Amino acid sequence: MDMISNIELGLWTALTPENLSLCLLGCLIGTLVGVLPGIGPGATIAMLLPVTFGLPATGAMVMLAGIYYGAQYGGSTTAILVKIPGEATSLVTVFDGHAMAKLGKAGVALGIAAIASFIAGTITTLLIALLAAPLSVFALEFGPVETFALLLLGLSCVVALSQGSLLKAAIMALLGLLLSTIGTDPMQPLQRLTFGWTEIADGFNFVVVAMGLFGLAEIANSLASREDRTQGYTRIGRLLPNWSEFKKSLAPILRGTFLGSALGFLPGNGAVVAPFASYAVEKGLAHDRERFGNGAIEGIAGPEAANNAAAQAAFVPLLTLGIPPNPIMALMMGAMILHGIVPGPRVLTEQPELFWGVVASMWIGNLMLLVINLPLVGVWVRLLNVDYKLLYPAIVLFCCAGVYSLGSSPADVAQMAAFGFLGTILSANGFEPAPLLLGLVLGRPLEEKLRQSLELSQGSVSSFLDSPIAVVLLVLSAIAIVASVLRSMQKLPSRPATLA
Amino acid sequence: MPAANRLTAVLFLAIALIAFVNTWQFSLGTFDEPGPGLFPKLIAGLLAMLSMPLIARKGISANDGDFLRLLRPSLAIFAAALVFAATIQGSSLARFGIGVPALGMPAAGTLALLVSGLAEKRTRWVRLAILATLLPLGFSVILRFALGQPVTLAPWLLGY
């Protein structure tokens, strides 16, 4: 099938009343969690994973994807109006977005953020449609050696691009890898590290760990660092930018889109890095740099386009290579696995409706967000006043009941509690949970492919050097780690939290 | 008080050592036929190695204040989830002569939410009690009757 017929198939799938409703629901939930205090898209997706059991796979993915990019919109709204980035990806929007709000141009800032996200979403959808098929055909050629190298690259990038200490990120990734070895050996019928506990004979359930690390831990973190989200906001004013403002924003939007797409396609958390990169580019290109930080519209347009493009492009490594580039994509991977779908190059050929339906729904979702969110901005802002004391008990219940409903097992709830406690304590000490989750997800295939590679090559390590693809991927892994070691040695400013 | 950072690193080292010892019985195998012990031992070894520099660091970490501030909410949320786990189907700690009856989701949820109230210093208990009664009940009814989940409502009263 060519690109046009693929997009046509996607649109037909995404435009069914069921998928359209789920897309709308996802976008609304996403915006809500982007705006609400103490709950992010990671926690929400983790909590909703058990609920998606009852949905068809495509519908579930469409809804979860809607939550992801809907949260980017919600995060920008609070960044602009009350100087609180709802999500890490909206941090850069605070610089000029809030400055514009203080100048009485909050509506224009919100408008250009939404328009930039929509344009970026549209272009990225086309790029995904263009690149996904060749990439998945290429990925079908991968043997154990290449897959091992790719998994290693994914893990290296997550460690290299994580916030703060590289050492701590590496430790968390290793802990995740170690947890992945618990349960039955992937190649022999042996129980490892279960200590005779039958509840973990099949290893830790990924959803249980994710809900503990991102759901429960987030509650404790939010309670401990209560932010004052009830501060007043400035007048919104007109919502649409005028022609001169739009003209000024167009080039930054396009640059941000391509930068974001490129970073999103790569393993690592492109959606967090892309807005920073875009802001740096726009500031670098500007003749009057002092405007940046004081309400420069380019400082919103570029980063907003970049974060949306990267968020959407991040689906490509998951759907075509089976590698989740960030923790939210790992949760998406969990959703696919719950529905019996193995993420990877075969999704495109065996489940074309799912692949193209999700891709098309992203464009439709962006359109929905543009149409719905701007007129509703007042409603979203009022939600900032929701008392967290009312919200967190509901989240606790949702997490407990959600995990329990996975397999009617109280042991799952107890494990979630333990991971929640561990996640809170670790994140308080600067150990991010994201590399742990990725390590847990990628650990089993990583071990399996390593052992298969060695067996197939009869113990020759040179098989990793015989494959040009594997060599390139291994070199890229090394570059990612070396570059981040150099960065930490130079004490460059670290990036913000990667999730939720 | 020792820095929380170092304590965390000691925890990692302990985990690595436990994993290493526990997988001792599994063979490393050979290069052409790697055994089930290879990967866990390799990862445990690397984890132990990377934990060392953190243990060696002296002084109080900048994050120690955050760590202490988080203890109360994290313990309360942890306890709330454990209460839910222990009471929904009932459990027994025979060694201590403790038996917890199966309460079903609404009552287990109510108890869990009340325990979660300990996370805050200034919890409004009456408001929380109302929320803790209504929310789990409504949630359980939706799960059982609207979504068809096998949720027990009040086995001690209704038998299901």
Has residue A498 got a pLDDT over 50?
no
Calpha distance A168→A174 (Å, rounded): 10
Q: What percent of chain A has pLDDT over 90?
A: 16
Question: CB distance A413–B88 less than 8 Å?
Answer: yes
Rounded CA-CA distance B101/A222 in Å is: 33
Q: What residues of B are in contact with residue A225 (Cβ under 8 Å)? A: 66, 69
Predicted ipTM of the assembly = 0.90
Q: Show residues of chain A in contact with B116, CB under 8 Å.
A: 392-393, 396
Please give the average per-residue pLDDT across A368-390, as a whole number: 77
> What is the reported pLDDT for A483?
83
Contacts (Cβ under 8 Å, ≥6 apart) of A449: A144, A145, A147, A148, A151
Candidates B26, B32, B43; nearest CB to A174: B43
- pLDDT > 50? residue A378: yes
**Quick one: pLDDT band at residue A171, thresholds 50, 70, 90?**
very high
Selected residue of B5, B77, B116, B131 to mutate for chain A interface (largest A Cβ count, 10 A):
B77
pLDDT tens profile A31-53: 888 777 666 777 778 777 777 77
Question: φ and ψ at A27, to 5 degrees?
Answer: -65, -40
Chain B contact present for A326, CB below 8 A: no
Q: What is the pLDDT of residues A83-102, one digit of tens each?
A: 766 666 777 888 888 888 88
Q: Which residue has the higher pLDDT, B110 or A486?
A: B110
> What would the mean pLDDT of A337-344 be, rounded to a whole number?
82
Taking all residues of chain A, what is their mean pLDDT, rounded to a whole number?
Answer: 83
pLDDT at B93: 65
pLDDT at B109: 94
Q: Residue A494's pLDDT band (boundaries 50, 70, 90)?
A: very low
Q: Which of residues 415-454 of A touch B (CB under 8 A)?
A: 416-418, 420-421, 424-426, 428-431, 443, 447, 450-451, 454
Q: Does A303 touch chain B (CB under 8 A)?
A: no
What residue type is assigned to position B15 of the chain? Answer: I
Q: How far is A168 from chain B (nearest CA, A)?
A: 9
pLDDT tens digits in sequence order for chain B, 160 residues long: 346 778 888 999 999 999 999 888 888 888 788 889 999 999 999 999 999 988 887 655 555 566 677 888 999 999 999 999 999 988 776 666 677 888 999 999 999 999 999 998 888 899 999 999 999 999 888 878 877 777 888 888 787 7
pLDDT range class, residue A500, cuts 50, 70, 90: very low
Q: Which residues 31-60 on chain A approach chain B with CB closer than 8 angstroms?
A: 51, 54
Is B136 close to A397, i.e. CB distance below 8 A? yes
Instruction: Tell me whether A286 touches chain B (CB under 8 Å).
Output: no
pLDDT higher than 60, residue A201: yes
What pLDDT score was predicted for residue A302? 93
pLDDT for A497 equals 40
**Chain A stretch 177-236, residues whose beta carbon is closer than 8 A to a beta carbon of chain B:** 177-178, 181, 185, 187-188, 190, 192-193, 195, 216-217, 219-221, 223-225
Q: Is the pLDDT of residue A415 over 90?
A: yes
Best to test chain A binding among B82, B84, B111 (most A CBs inside 10 Å): B84
Question: What is the rounded (10 degree) CA torsion for A192, A194, A197, A202?
Answer: -70
The verdict on a CB contact (< 8 Å) between B78 and A416 is no
**Residues of chain A positioned with their CB less than 8 A from the CB of B109:** 397, 400-401
In angstroms, the CA A455 to CA A145 distance is 11
Secondary structure string (H, E, C) spanning chain B: CCCHHHHHHHHHHHHHHHHHHHCCCCCCECCCCECCCHHHHHHHHHHHHHHHHHHHCCCCCCCHHHHHHHHHHHHHHHHHHHHHHHHHCCEEEHHHCEEECCCHHHHHHHHHHHHHHHHCCCCCHHHHHHHHHHHHHHHHHHHHHHCCCCCCCCCCCCCC
> Alpha carbon B95 to chain centroid distance?
22
Question: What does the buried/exposed string (b/e) look like for A373-384 if buried means 16 or more CB atoms within 10 Å of the residue's CB?
Answer: bbeebeebbebb
pLDDT of residue A257: 94
Nearest to A19 by CA among A486, A405, A365: A365
Nearest to A171 among B38, B47, B81 (CB): B47
- CB proximity under 8 Å: A 145-184 to B: 167-168, 170-171, 174-175, 177-178, 181
- The string of pLDDT tens digits covering residues A391-410 is 888 889 988 988 887 788 89
3-state secondary structure of A191: strand
Ranges A253-257, A321-325, A475-479, B29-33, most confident: A253-257
C-alpha dihedral sign at A308, A310, A313, A315: negative
Contact pairs from chain A to chain B, CB under 8 Å: 210
Residue with tokens 């996904």: A132
Contact A401 B109 (CB under 8 A): yes
CA-CA distance, B71 to B91, in Å (whole number)? 26
* Closest residue by Cα to residue A415 from A232, A219, A179, A256: A179
Nearest CB to B78; choose among A181, A417, A455: A417
Residues B81, A223: C-beta atoms closer than 8 Å: no
- pLDDT tens digits, one per residue of A133-159: 788 777 777 888 988 888 888 888 778
- Interface check for A407 against chain B (CB to CB < 8 A): the answer is no
